[in-house]
Structure 1
Amino acid sequence: MSRRVVRQSKFRHVFGQAAKADQAYEDIRVSKVTWDSSFCAVNPKFLAIIVEAGGGGAFIVLPLAKVWQIPDYTPMRNITEPIITLEGHSKRVGILCWHPTARNVLLSAGSDNVIIIWNVGTGEVLLSLDDMHPDIIHSVCWNSNGSLLATTCKDKTLRIIDPRKGQVVAERARPHEGARPLRAVFTADGKLLSTGFSRMSERQLALWDPERFAAHEGMRPMRAIFTRQGHIFTTGFTRMSQRELGLWDPNNFEEPVALQEMDTSNGVLLPFYDPDSSIIYLCGKGDSSIRYFEITDEPPFVHYLNTFSSKEPQRGMGFMPKRGLDVSKCEIARFYKLHERKCEPIVMTVPRKSDLFQDDLYPDTPGPEPALEADEWLSGQDAEPVLISLRDGYVPPKHRELRVTKPNILDVRPPSGPRRSQSAQDSPLSQQHTLERLLEEIKALREQVQAQDQRITALENMLCELVDGTD
């Protein structure tokens, strides 16, 4: 008689629990825009939700620390003046993503099929990737050090892009055969997790090794022939222009490392990946459940853990960074589920009897401090995130204000180092942005000259009156 072996994992008994009613945020009109977005962002201090409003573009920001003693007077105000305005997209922007290690570097993508990378500290366009996606961009994700991007597009292609070189370094056409939108996120070791639909409209989760997408990563021509055994023998170049040979199995040339098929619901699966635990959480738009899987180096690589289910469907979902969790309760994930009129926290916990800090659950995790400045990243430097320990809990800093410094375009000198890529320096979008800044500078100088002219005229009149009085 054979005995079934149960896989050992500290996350095998992770369970989810919805917060009590008094911990939910009531009377919130969540946006009804038909964009497959999470509509929610969260950090250890604040919760931001896209809400329904005339004209669109409205959001609310709520503090997570609740104080129940209501003062006699509570000042409330709407924020109508932004710190800085970033203008460059020609159509609606649906994706915003901060760089994981560089200060003030923000990525935006929209319905104009363009990705723009900004320095929000100066308002400058650092890079514009405007010729890589022939259709609407569905998702964009940075890798752990911010050197690469993974994008999915309406053309059903999964791309890996080096934004500073302006190159697609690897791509996979139709990683999922279905017609609904794809999503993709990088794992901690550089692989890719994608969600999509099969040809029969079954929802899928796939794990990909990008090294299988391209036989050779160099820019020079490749050659390929079949061997007698049916394998493919290739010659090409590495990314560093070294010549290399390759032997490939055509039956495994572009297949996923692992593939999980789930159900036939039509809701797009939003993936939330935790690199500390290697757990991927899947939240379907319109679903009432959260599925979670553990990613390992052992076959079958993607291991189903459990499903959290509730009664009401979700309109969107926010995912708390690891530093915002309660380590004293062995909390390893927290979601903020958007209903039609409220937001409900959902906590994922590993059951432990000990009250001591659980080192295996909480390795050092990325903190809020950047590892690079924006110009350092743009020049080609990379750095891993600055890690912090959660042993004593995390206390958010009280004041972290964005300081905006708009450079004077008249003081700019030609760069002495190597030229940036064509898309970064000579793109029409960048030229338009520079022209607008020049026009603003000219307008300001003209106003100063007019003011000085008026002052000179007034002084001359006073002088004439004094001279006439003496005569």
Structure 2
Amino acid sequence: AEGALATESPTDRQPLSSSPSSSPPKKKTQCGDRNLADDFEKHAALLAAAALSPTSPTSPPQLSSSPGKESMSPYELVLRSELLGETKPTKSCRRRLFQYKPDGDAVGCATTPATSESPISKRSQELLRTPPKTPRKIATSPFRVLEVPAIRDDFYLNLVHWSSQNILAVGLGNCVYLWNAGTGQVTNLCELAPSDPVTSVNWNARGTHLAVGTNKGVVQQWDVAKRTKIREFGGHVSRIGALSWRDSVVTSGSRDRLIINRDVRERSPHTSKLIGHRQEVCGLQWSPDHQFLASGGNDNRLLIWDPVQAVDTGSQVCNLVWSVSVNELVSTHGYSQNQVAVWSYPTMTQIATLTGHATRVLYLSMSPDGQTIVTGAGDETLRFWNVFPPTRTAATLGDFGSLSFGSMQIR
């Protein structure tokens, strides 16, 4: 067989004693124990060159695929390091899969020193000494479900938001209710005119003021401690379905396709407008460092403002929220899967899909510790998900598991 070691066959051996024969004896061929086939070295060189060359569409899956190092076992990392040379040497060098003597030309390769007794390279030894990183797992089921009767099943509204003071604001009809996650107490903050129902709610960073958007395109600023309305802001000609705070600036998105920024400290607030969506703005969220604004609309577009970036999600974007511990954000969607998507920023690759709601996931907010998100839908449920890892400076807010969420109702 090609590539096999050549050995003497029993039929080629001469007997120790034999009678004279008329034919002359055959000439004995001398063979060594490492006599390889002539074309074996050529095939080995081609195999090594194929391993180092860029992958082609016809390459086998195990060679063309390049899985992330976090998902590979130490054995796989060492194997790829030794055979495929994935060590990024300082100088380009040629590594052979089959080699019976040291290669003196490969100076830049991460090979084992001559004094080392290890059969593997220094890089592979470092990989073995490095503890493997366990990939983070995201639970795909909610750990609590809170019933919310009569919550509106409207894709364009954002009626749930969680404050830094661990208080959940929920808009029901023309009223805004506050639910304390620590005590379970429910408070009615305000009641608007029946002809102008609540269409969105959003807390400021300190959890002291609540912005309330209405069906007529008005933004109201409420002092929660005093339970009084401070002021109102105009600028939109239709309902406000999305709100987000950036320090003292409140940003609103409306059915009129506009995004407006207002500074609540000014007597006549400075206003700037962002135009980019072709249909109603359904979701708004500032990043934790207040440098980027993410917006989603009924045009199936997810925009990142400054720099501008768009991702086609394949379904209506209902809501958005940024993570405070990792470079990720969450978006909620409607038809056809009613899913919650987790995205990695800035690559905008989807890393997780959470399902469980029976209808469009219209509402989304994050807990003050940055680990849990709450989602709401027209199926009259609020679902709590553990999505993000804890932050180093996260404050202890109590054990949510001690509360019987399933037996509670808002209103």
TM-score band, normalised by shorter chain: 0.3 to 0.5
**TM-score (normalised: structure 1):** 0.41
**TM-score (normalised: structure 2):** 0.46
Higher relative contact order (CA 8 A, sep 6+): 1
Higher Cα Rg, which structure: 2
